[in-house]
Each structure stands twice: as structure tokens, then as C-alpha cells.
Amino acid sequence: MNIALWVAQFLLAAVYLGSGLVKLLRSREQVIASTGAWAEDYSDGAVKGIGAVEVLGALGVVLPWLTGIAPVLTPIAAVGLVVVQVVAIRVHLRIGDTKTLPVNVVLLLLAAFVAIGRFAG
């Protein structure tokens, strides 16, 4: 079970680090062009804020457990990523973008798996 949790943690970290850095380092217009129309409804600051939350979640889902420093932060970060995906699914449904929903659901389930597994362990 520990190996499965680590695989899930590193997958989540890779996805959210990449996604968050795109939002942090590119302009809102570039984010719209590369990730979809969802960002049209949000300000530059909101898009950067989402990116920052994703980067912090990516770090939080791995580093505390890996280092042994405040390991309770890992499942808390995973819960935060569940919330990110719930909001993302809601946004995508609102704008009629259903093609990304399977990815959102998989990320939500991975984050829930990590949260439950690490709170239990």
C-alpha cells in the first residue's frame, strides 16, 4: 500500500507542479490558449492564485511525508487537491467543457486515495 501511495503522490506532484507553473509563469492569454476557455472568466490574479495553490499542493503532497517534517501536512495537502478538483469539475461543467472531466475525476480520486491512506498511516 505504501508503494501505491508514493506513486499516487508523485503523480499528483508532477501534474500539479506542471499545471501550476504554467499558470504562474504564463500570461492569462497564454493560459487560455494552452489550457482552455475556463480562464476567460477569471482575472490575471485569480489565474496566478490558482497556479500558486497547485504548486503548493504539489509540494505539500510529497515533501512533508518524504522529509518527516510535519507529515500531517501531506494528507492535508491531498484534501486541498481534492477541493481543487471539485471546483475544477464544477467550472468545466458550467462552461460545457466535458472532455477534461475524466482527467479531473482521476486526479480527484488519486488525491482522495492519498488523503485517506496517509491519514490512516
Mean pLDDT of 65-86: 98
Q: Which residues contact 50 (CB under 8 A, 6 or more apart)?
A: 20, 23, 42, 84
User: Does residue 66 surpass a pLDDT of 90?
Assistant: yes
pLDDT at 63: 98
The DSSP code for 22 is H
For residue 35, the model assigns a pLDDT of: 86
Percent of the chain clearing pLDDT 90 (strictly above):
93
- Taking only the tens place, the pLDDT of each residue in 22-64 is 999 999 999 999 988 899 999 999 999 999 999 999 999 999 9
Asked if residue 16 lies in contact with residue 81, where contact means CB atoms within 8 angstroms, the answer is yes
Q: Which three cell numbers stand for residue 76?
A: 492535508
Residue 91, pLDDT > 90, answer yes
Task: Give the pLDDT of residue 43.
Answer: 94
Which of 39, 35, 90, 83 lies closest to 57, judged by CA? 83
pTM over 0.85: yes
